[in-house]
A = this chain, B = another copy of it.
Amino acid sequence: MQLGIVGLGRMGGNIARRLMRDGHTTVVHDRDAKAVEALTREGATGAGDLAALVKQMSTPRAVWVMLPAGEPTEQTIAQLADLLGPDDVIIDGGNTFYKDDIRRAQQLAERKLHYVDVGTSGGVWGLERGYCMMIGAEKVIFERLEPLFKTLAPGVGDIPRTRGRSGPTERAEQGYIHAGPAGAGHFVKMIHNGIEYGLMQAYAEGFDILKTKASDSLPVDQRFDLNLPEIAEVWRRGSVVTSWLLDLTADAMVEDPQLGNYSGSVSDSGEGRWTIDAAVEQAVPVPVLASALFARFRSRQQQGTYGDKVLGAMRFGFGGHVEKKGE
């Protein structure tokens, strides 16, 4: 079937490619004309602006917006809403806050437009591996677009079937689900990212202890000369902590056991933060997910935060402690 795609960055471009490989057609637009041109050479229909994109599509249309969350996505959806007609669909494949999805779906419904939010995991690997998708939509619209999702998803592949499942493979086993109404897709994806932060930080802390145990700063009789790339590798082999994130860690450590290419300044994105906000709103204790987020905040700070200075000032106040060099 046909899909309009706005935003041809790494994600949007590869979505178009994966769809076309499987026989779907795409009408594509990007503010960078070269990106449009490149995809046109790969079989897409190019569009110089949103109006042209809409005009070249057959109804009912479905347009996938694959832009940075926030203003770029918001504005593009507003413009599309003016151009599209009854029963057309706008899909947001970005990292939008789920409450914005709910609001947009209500606003677009008043204009007889449909809204779909697709939380997508898989990033740069999606073209080959397929995209894991959590989708928020009206049921009938989800079903209308299902051929697209089926193509974009990884499919069953050679992943062993979950024990207890039988019969024909379900959507989830192919790598996409209808999570619920508008917002539900991004909600589930948000939690996915929250968990991701927690998993990553668990490995990071473990390797930090191992690294420190091998460090010159310990007395020699308390030290183990541990080989971290070997440890990451052996844990991939039948241990309880095997995971894709561990695979990636093993990759990186083979390249450079010191990870010298990385400064250790770690970004965070909206999803990690919103996960904590959601937990707070729902009164769910999430010490691990919050700690993982705070560790990222801390990783980006210069030494000597104001809070740390407050500690120093108090210690001086009650104990006359003067900070030692190298403490």
Say yes or no: A238 contacts B198, CB within 8 Å: no
Given A179-B224, A196-B240, A327-B267, are A202 and B292 also a contact pair (CB < 8 Å)? yes
Contact of A234 among B176, B265, B296, B301 (CB under 8 A): B176
**What's the interface size class on A, roughly?**
35 or more
Given A200-B311, A267-B324, are A306 and B208 also a contact pair (CB < 8 Å)? yes
Whole-angstrom distance between the Cβ of A249 and the nearest chain B Cβ: 6
A236 CB within 8 Å of chain B: yes
Inside 8 A of A191's CB, which chain B residues have their CB? 206, 209-210
A107 vs B241: C-alpha distance in the bound complex, in angstroms? 33
A94 CB within 8 Å of chain B: no
Mark contacts of A288-300 with chain B using CB atoms, 8 A cut-off: 1 yes-contact digit, 0 otherwise.
1111111111111
Q: Which of A57-65, A79-87, A126-134 faces chain B?
A: A126-134
Say yes or no: B195 contacts A264, CB within 8 Å: no
Say yes or no: A249 contacts B204, CB within 8 Å: no
The A contact surface, by secondary structure, is helix
Whole-angstrom distance between the Cβ of A316 and the nearest chain B Cβ: 7
Inside 8 A of A123's CB, which chain B residues have their CB? 240, 318-320
Say yes or no: B287 contacts A291, CB within 8 Å: yes
Mark contacts of A161-201 with chain B using CB atoms, 8 A cut-off: 1 yes-contact digit, 0 otherwise.
01111000011111111011101100110011111111111
Say yes or no: B203 contacts A310, CB within 8 Å: yes
* Residue among A288, A289, A292, A296 with max Cβ neighbours from chain B (10 Å): A288
Inside 8 A of A241's CB, which chain B residues have their CB? 121, 192, 195-196, 199, 243-245
Say yes or no: A286 contacts B199, CB within 8 Å: no
Say yes or no: B199 contacts A306, CB within 8 Å: no
Say yes or no: B264 contacts A308, CB within 8 Å: yes
A237 vs B181: C-alpha distance in the bound complex, in angstroms? 22
Mark contacts of A226-247 with chain B using CB atoms, 8 A cut-off: 1 yes-contact digit, 0 otherwise.
1101110111111111111111
A82 vs B252: C-alpha distance in the bound complex, in angstroms? 47
A309 CB within 8 Å of chain B: yes
Contact of A231 among B179, B227, B297 (CB under 8 A): B179
A52 CB within 8 Å of chain B: no
A281 vs B217: C-alpha distance in the bound complex, in angstroms? 13
A23 CB within 8 Å of chain B: no
Inside 8 A of A226's CB, which chain B residues have their CB? 179-180, 184, 187-188
Say yes or no: A248 contacts B195, CB within 8 Å: no
Whole-angstrom distance between the Cβ of A27 and the nearest chain B Cβ: 26
Inside 8 A of A176's CB, which chain B residues have their CB? 234
A112 CB within 8 Å of chain B: no
Inside 8 A of A170's CB, which chain B residues have their CB? 230, 233
Contacts A/B (CB < 8 Å), 5 sampled: A163-B255, A204-B311, A263-B304, A288-B295, A290-B294
